[in-house]
Amino acid sequence: MVFFGVQLATLKPRLIVPYRFLKASRARTSVAVALALTGSALVACAQSGGNGAAPSRAAAAPASYSPAITEADLRRRLYIFADDSMQGRDAGSVGHERALTYLVGELTRLGIKPAGVNGYYQRVPTVPRSRAGAAPADTSWSRNVIAVIEGSDPTLKAEYVALGAHSDHVGFSRRPVDHDSMRAFLQAGWNAIGRDPNARGPSPEQRASIRVNVDSLRTIRPARLDSIYNGADDDGSGAMALLEIAEAFATSAAKPKRSLLLVWHTAEEKGLIGAEWFMDNPTVARNKIVAQINIDMIGRGAARDVKGGGDDFITILGPKRLSSQFDQWVRDVNNKQARPLQLDYEFDRDGHPQQFYCRSDHYHYARYGIPIAFFFTSIHEDYHQVTDEPQYIEYPKYTRITQYLHELAAFTANQPNAPVIDKPKPDPNGTCRQ
Ligand SMILES: [Zn+2]
């Protein structure tokens, strides 16, 4: 999910707080010493469990991936894709390319057909980040990853149901923070501000209680400096859901009638650049894409993350903006689930101040008149923070959402007709306004 002016206004004051807190806290000495030692070097934060020990990923992981969409597979994939070694996946950076290597390695292993320009890849020009304090991109280009699972119907296989996620995130900072203090402050700030726009931020009493909590953590482990924006939810969750969905289709004997177009867009965080490039320079016939399902941040949305949140909560945007029929399919397939999700349309409202409809890759499909459905478990306190890590993902719910989206893709690809468009198409060269 791309950062937006409206978010900056809310998040900036909160971002400043943790540094002030660090100065005042007992962590000061160790942080200062560590900073002096590390200079501006990249500081990783071990993705630890609650006991403070970093778990061995190899020991926790299953022996191999299962063809089905499973919680164990999603967890294992996400811990790899959002690992500190990917350095926050800033589009075009060495870390991002490493993440794409994992992705392409899996597609190759699964025998899924490449559909880019150069194998799975499509080169996309990007611009280096200008955000102060962020690492500049290593190159001024990056890559979309594109694959196709061919349909089984001789005629309908010429049409595509597209599924998308974004592979990039925002990289790393040169100003490390203590992970635990940051998280404690973000949670308090989120409870006070994020969910209630009229609140004023943590009170002196709340600050004191945060300090007590962090101090008690200090008795079991030292300050853990963190500078990497792992983007586990944003959009590691979508990217790995898409890979699990691809695996499920590729390993199943029964293929849907229409083909499935799988696109891991790059540079979403720089302004939806990869999706814009792909739709302006498509590698399949654009007018044969009958629908697009966009998956960007589906790993959170618990009650503590969002008002009205919980184990079934997910927000949905977009389908009824072009096709009432596609919107109906989205709800029908959900209702057929053993435990249906609670599809929340609040963010899809015209004129919603967050403008989420304009803030992820699906918009570039919609501007060409393709019906889209955008799934997202909402903004949370770790959004675009170093604390967006795999250890905070709601795995059972993430798994159910992924299974549902797999079924939605199959259902859409098997319908006799493409979703009927009954609303006016936008101007492809116009500006997005929700
Ligand atoms: Zn984002």
Distance 26 CA to ligand 1 centre (A): 32
Distance 228 CA to ligand 1 centre (A): 14
Distance 356 CA to ligand 1 centre (A): 11
Q: pTM for this one? A: 0.85
- Domain residue limits, the chain: 16-39+174-227, 69-171+229-414
Distance 108 CA to ligand 1 centre (A): 27
Distance 257 CA to ligand 1 centre (A): 33
Lowest mean pLDDT among 201-205, 256-260, 331-335: 201-205
Mapping DSSP to helix (H, G, I), strand (E, B) and coil, where does residue 359 land?
coil
Q: What is the pLDDT of residues 275-312, one digit of tens each?
A: 999 999 999 999 999 999 999 999 999 998 888 899 99
pLDDT of residue 38: 35
pLDDT of residue 59: 42
d(CA 297, CA 166): 10
Distance 142 CA to ligand 1 centre (A): 17
d(CA 123, CA 135): 21
Mean pLDDT on 103-132: 87
Distance 169 CA to ligand 1 centre (A): 6
422-to-319, 395, 429 alpha-carbon distances in Å: 11, 37, 21
Distance 237 CA to ligand 1 centre (A): 11
Mean pLDDT on 211-215: 79
What token pair was written down for 294?
A: 């966009």
Q: What are phi and psi of 300, to 5 degrees?
A: -130, -135
pLDDT of residue 329: 98
pLDDT of residue 302: 93
Percent of the chain scored above 70 by pLDDT? Answer: 80
Distance 166 CA to ligand 1 centre (A): 9
Distance 266 CA to ligand 1 centre (A): 12
Distance 170 CA to ligand 1 centre (A): 7
Cβ contact 315:346 at 8 Å: yes
What token pair was written down for 349?
A: 């409202």
Residues found in the chain: 434
Does the pLDDT value for residue 61 go beyond 60? no
Cβ contact 172:87 at 8 Å: yes
Distance 2 CA to ligand 1 centre (A): 4
Lowest mean pLDDT among 20-34, 89-103, 118-132, 264-278: 20-34
Burial label, 224 (beta-carbon count in 10 A; 0-12, 13-18, 19+)? buried
Distance 329 CA to ligand 1 centre (A): 28
Q: How confident is the model at residue 130 (pLDDT cuts 50, 70, 90)?
A: very low
Distance 411 CA to ligand 1 centre (A): 29
Provide the mean pLDDT of the chain.
84
Distance 413 CA to ligand 1 centre (A): 29
Q: Which fold has domain 69-171+229-414?
A: Aminopeptidase (3.40.630)
Distance 251 CA to ligand 1 centre (A): 31
Task: Quickly count helices (H) and strands (E) in the chain.
Answer: 12, 11
Q: What is the pLDDT of residues 82-93, one digit of tens each?
A: 999 999 999 999
pLDDT of residue 371: 98
Q: What is the pLDDT of residues 351-384, one digit of tens each?
A: 998 889 998 999 999 999 999 999 999 989 899 9
Q: What is the pLDDT of residues 174-199, one digit of tens each?
A: 888 889 888 888 887 776 655 555 55
